[in-house]
Structure 1
Amino acid sequence: MKLSAEMRAFEERIGHRFDRPELLVRALTHGSVSSPNRTDNQRLEFLGDRVLGLAMASALLDDDKAATEGQLAPRFNTLVRKETCADVAREIGLGEVLKLGRSEMLSGGRRKQALLGDAMEAVIAAVFRDAGFVVAAEMVLRLWGDRIGQVETDARDAKSALQEREQAKGHTPPRYEVVRREGPDHAPEFTVAVRLADGSEAQAKAASKRNAEQAAAQQMLDQLG
């Protein structure tokens, strides 16, 4: 299979030239364009999530040899969550080469966090299938870059921090509400609002209600300084 110029450029951005280019094409094919003759990226996404997890767990153990399991767990969750995968996908221009059906294209699918995060995991699996775990893990660590060293700060529990802040002021706890749910069942996107006793409000989107609540809490903390 011969890849397009755009796909070749994407290979350069991730730092891996595929011996089996059909794996990359499959990783970048969303379910909205699948057909009997074309396989989408859902199975690769399933595998990529596990490859990413193993790569990150190993990297965290190497990065901090004195950390306890209780310290490592939130760092791990921060590095492998869908939002982080989507951020990396944006940095490497994954959305530009993502193959989408017409409906997803019209609804801004190339920018959707859930689609980008899923495709990023699928690309990781494609590299794993093409060249093995060592090469896939090296790519992951290269693309995630400084996130691993900064993860202690990023892994803060924003909901707990916001609640402690409000309680210290004698206020009632923050209230969270799902204001919108979009997307198909296999790739939902939740918009959650957090509201404080003084009327302040912040909103955020994520692929799960829990992550959306955390993101909304972090948004509120950022607004409050």
Structure 2
Amino acid sequence: MAKERARLHQALEYKFSNPRLLDEALTHPSALQGRQGRASGRGGYERLEFLGDRVLGLVVAEMLFNAFPNENEGALARRHAALVRREALARVAAEIGLGACLAMSRGEEETGGRNNPTLLADACEAVIGALYADAGLDVAASFVRRHWEPLMGEALTPPKDAKTALQEWAQGLGRKLPLYTTLGMEGPPHEPIFLVEVMVEGVESVTGRGTSKRAAEQAAAQAMLEKVKS
């Protein structure tokens, strides 16, 4: 794994003052199961993932604000959502060889963990968080700009939101409009998570979660799009 880590350092274009931060960013929670992971003193990447998610969101928002001065908030929001979603993060993770550097359990690895888009996306956010924690916003933003500017340049027009895209897909096949149903709420009253089901004629229903009904509907629509286009 030493060669893979060396290539990762080259891709990051940064040498950590506190290498443990990068170790944590590259540690999947499954690697901490049992005494060996705990004895190493390494934490998993979840806390850094939380931090990196916020840093990525801020930097991408600034990039879009400057790159598209004539677009309204809705168009910028759709671009932003596309650039910070799992697929974009997993793509960057693959470009920098992140999967080969991750510490994970044997079981996770045997089930394809090193190529799992969700796992790669989470780890990529954690690496961004580690860069920010070690060196501040300028270094983290430099990494984000290098890898997200090409992605930003691929879309000449703002992407459609998931609900609109799903509606157009259904109409294109002559099917009824998608039907959204709120199934309930989870979590504490001050931070509710809504659970929404979407049904499309001829397709098994799927659900989505979000901090608002609108967000949950978008999540459900996105899950349905991924299902029908897979």
Both proteins in one fold, TM over 0.5: yes
Matches within 5 A, 1:79-118: 79-118=83-122
Q: 1:10 aligns with which of 2, 8, 16?
A: 8
Instruction: Decide whether the 8 Å contact of 2:93 with 2:124 is kept in 1.
Output: yes
CA pair 7-196 structure 1, distance change in 2 beyond 3 A = same
Distance 1:158 1:43 in 2: 29
Q: Distance in 2 between matches of 1:160 and 1:114?
A: 24
Rounded Cα–Cα distance in structure 2 between residues aligned with 1:95 and 1:33: 14
Q: How big is each residue's C-alpha offset from its partner over 1:108-134, in whole Å with a ceiling of 9 and x where there is no partner?
A: 111112211110000001111222101
Query: Which residue number corresponds to residue 30 of structure 2?
Result: 32
Q: Does 2:21 match 1:23? A: yes
Task: Report matched runs for 1:62-211 at 5 Å.
Answer: 62-151=66-155, 153=157, 155-167=159-171, 170-173=174-177, 211=219
Q: CA RMSD in A?
A: 3.2
Runs of 4+ in 1 over 6 A off after TM superposition: 206-209
Q: Which amino acid aligns with 1:26?
A: E
- Same amino acid, percent of matched pairs: 42
Is the partner of 1:19 in helix, strand or coil? Answer: coil
Give, in angstroms, the shift of residue 154 of structure 1: 6.5
State the TM-score, normalized to the length of structure 1.
0.75
- The AA in structure 2 aligned to 1:76 is H
Cα gap change, 1:110/1:168 in structure 2, threshold over 3 Å: closer, same or farther?
Answer: closer
Could you tell me how far apart the structure 2 residues matched to 1:57 and 1:121 are? 16
Partner of 2:225: 217
Quick one: distance in 1 between partners of 2:94 and 2:209? 16
**Alpha carbons of structure 1 residues 12 and 43: separation in structure 2 relative to 1, 3 Å:** same
Deviation of 1:218 (Å): 6.0
TM-score scaled by length of structure 2:
0.73
How far apart in 1 are the matches of 2:174 and 2:90?
A: 37
Q: What letter corresponds to residue 222 of structure 2 in structure 1?
A: Q
Give the letter for the 1:39 counterpart: G
Q: Give the 3 Å change call, closer, same or farther, for CA 9–216 of structure 1 in structure 2.
A: same
Shift of the 133–30 alpha-carbon distance from structure 1 to 2, 3 Å rule, reads: same
Q: Distance in 1 between matches of 2:149 and 2:26?
A: 22
Unpaired stretches in structure 2, ≥5 consecutive residues:
33-37, 181-197, 211-215
Partner of 1:53: 57
Q: For 1:20, give the aligned amino acid.
A: N
Aligned residues: 200
Residue identity matched to 2:106: R
The offset of 1:15, in angstroms, is 2.1
